[in-house]
Amino acid sequence: MAQLVVVMAQVNPLVGDIDGNAAAIVARSREAVTAHGAQVVVFPELALTGYPPEDLLLRPSIALRVERALERLRRELPDVWVLAGYPRRSERGLENVAGLLKGGELVAEYAKMELPNYQVFDEKRYFVAGERPCVVEIEGFRVALSVCEDIWHERPTALAVAEGAELVLNINASPFHLGKHAERRRIVERRAVAGGVGVIYVNQVGGQDELVFDGGSMAIARDGTLAVLAPHFAQGLYPVRIARDARGHVVIAPGAVATEPNLHATVYAALVTGVRDYVDKNRFKGVVLGLSGGIDSALTLAVAVDALGPQRVEAVMMPFRYTAAMSIEDAEAQAATLGVGFKVIPIGPMFDAFMGALDEEFAGRAVDTTEQNIQARCRGVLLMAISNKKGFLVLTTGNKSEMAVGYSTLYGDMAGGFDVLKDVPKTLVFELARYRNSIAAVIPERVIERPPSAELAPDQKDEDSLPPYSVLDRILERYVERDMSANAIIDEGFDAETVRRVVRMVDLNEYKRRQAPIGPRITRKAFGRDRRYPVTSGWLAGD
């Protein structure tokens, strides 16, 4: 009776490192054979280039580099079936291809039929869609090759089944957002049941700029049963065993099913992955951040340490006359608990120097937010100086709620290279802090309990300038992530004046977000790739 061992290679490619990615495919294929007796090894979508390669795909030399990598694969891969993704130019144009190799030969190529062009995807900018299925015989099984978005549509699988496919190998580069794995599983189950075919779904892991890939590769039997599930956010090789039953149907044997993490564990892992890969792939020695004694910087510090280890993290407290004593105490206590480098650099002398230089310019004008912004910019200068001198990346600490309404200072607290919480609403920041403390208490309790404050003015509280975060985040979720109009949000029972004020702040502060650091995407619609609005606009809030 025919049997087949398919190994899902859940890997973390580096975009643009075609030679390095090819070497990793060779190494992981050899390991799959040695460790699992693999007959087929399946790698993710565009595994040779990494995903998304963006305008690298427009470079004339990419074809040469991909061909050179394919030659290496033909020469160095073990004598098993290996499926991997790469871009390939045909007479029709550039295609997003799944290539099947065996015994030094490129046996088959399949071009992705469904090209996503929504949310973070813009594949129609680069690729032409494939036109036909590709079904090949592998060790006695009729196997269809499939790429990512194909599995989200009925047509590609239906065409493959019509040509005799009984097993689908679907390679993916599917980025994470909240609820994404459950969506994927439902879709794959639906395709398996509708087509009466087993589906092996292989996804990549790792961070690429603001995108985070969570793995979760899976094998779904023809009746929709989950047979194998790889862990989230972990590289590895995960075997799937295929056979036939007495009626000749393809059977996927039950195998290892990883525990699926809860919401907070998943988001936290995504943030850690995003930080680790951005720092390591860009070859920074470490990170530095301003530790204010507030909850945003406290959570950012915890994520940074979990991503990189304490020896690669430096925290700087930069007090001013409005900084509460408890803020200094809590920052020092957290730094000691986590074992990171910690410095206290007062900004008073810098602020006074700026004010002295501006004395004539400011003469006769009342104190306003200008002086608050100068405080923030003094801190930004210090952090960027440390970054330049030590080769550390500055982590900024603004959350999604603040970024949405512009509660931040350009060239001040927004100065840096990577914003860990950029897509994390403030209410979720509190939840994640409590989640992290449930593992080990690393954030002082009163940091979580005290009312949020920028501490740029006497007795300042965030809610002096903003609606309560419990209200603000619900409005922002509707306006930013669900594209609801101001009137539609008001119709759900929110105060009309508050809604219009929040919507206006979001619209007015697009210019700040255009200049903000990137950060890990964890929601369905993040600022940046997902949500691209004009800076100059006459659009008015309403219906």
How far apart CA 406 and CA 429 sit, in angstroms, is 17
Q: Is the pLDDT of residue 22 over 90?
A: yes
Q: Which amino acid is at 317?
A: M
Q: For residue 52, is the peptide bond before it cis, meaning its omega torsion is within 30 degrees of 0?
A: yes
- Per-residue pLDDT tens over the stretch 268-281: 999 999 999 999 99
Rounded to an integer, what distance in angstroms lies between the CA atom of residue 210 and that of residue 208? 6
CATH topology for 265-462 is Rossmann fold (3.40.50)
CA–CA separation, 220 and 200 (whole Å): 6
Reported confidence tier of residue 248, pLDDT bands at 50, 70, 90: confident
What are the structural domain ranges in the chain? 4-260, 265-462
Amino acid 360: pLDDT: 95
Fold agreement between 4-260 and 265-462: no
Rounded CA-CA distance 148/171 in Å is 6
Judge contact between 81 and 101, C-beta under 8 A.
yes
How far apart, in Å, are the Cα atoms of 508 and each of 68, 92, 280, 284?
A: 49, 44, 35, 34
- Averaged over 322-328, what is the pLDDT? 91
| pLDDT tens per residue across span 90-129 | 999 999 999 999 999 999 999 999 999 988 999 999 999 9
Q: Which of 437, 457, 459 is nearest to 449 (CA)?
A: 437
Tell me the angle at which helices 295-308 and 426-439 cross, rounded to the nearest 10 degrees: 50
CA–CA separation, 80 and 38 (whole Å)? 7
Give the pLDDT band (50/70/90) at residue 460: confident
CB-CB neighbours of 320 under 10 Å: 16
The C-alpha atoms of residue 485 and residue 493 are separated, in whole angstroms, by: 13
The model's pTM is 0.95
Task: Tell me the pLDDT of the chain averaged across its residues.
Answer: 95
CATH number of this structure's domain 4-260, picked from the four choices 3.40.710.10, 3.10.20.30, 3.40.630.30, 3.60.110.10 = 3.60.110.10
Indicate the residue type of 323: T
DSSP at 125: G
CB 516 within 8 A of CB 403: yes
How confident is the model at residue 453, as a pLDDT?
A: 76
Note the pLDDT of residue 109: 97
pLDDT of residue 454: 72
Q: Indicate the DSSP class of residue 175.
A: B
What pLDDT sits at residue 1? 52
Quote the CA–CA distance of 209 and 285 in Å, as a whole number: 17
> What phi, psi does 272 have (nearest 5°)?
-60, -45
133, 107 contact by CB (below 8 A): no
User: Rounded CA gap, 295 and 278, in Å?
Assistant: 23
Q: Is the pLDDT of residue 489 over 80?
A: yes
Q: In whole angstroms, how far apart are CA 487 and each of 76, 104, 112, 329, 500?
A: 62, 62, 41, 45, 9
- pLDDT, position 542: 83
Q: Is residue 86 within 8 Å of 59, Cβ to Cβ?
A: no
Least confident range from 342-351, 408-417, 450-459: namely: 450-459
112, 115, 120, 126: CA torsion to nearest 10? 80
User: Which pLDDT score is estimated for 543?
Assistant: 81
Task: Report whether pLDDT(386) > 70.
Answer: yes
* pLDDT value at residue 538: 87
Q: What is the 3-state secondary structure (H, E, C) of 27-53?
A: HHHHHHHHHHCCCEEECCCCCCCCCCC
Residue numbers annotated as active site: 45, 112, 148
pLDDT, tens only, 154-173? 999 999 999 999 999 999 99
Mean pLDDT throughout 12-37? 97
pLDDT band at residue 365 under the 50/70/90 scheme = very high
Contact at 8 Å (CB) between 43 and 10?
no
Model confidence at 29: pLDDT above 60: yes
Query: What pLDDT sits at residue 541?
Result: 85
How far apart CA 365 and CA 428 sit, in angstroms, is 39
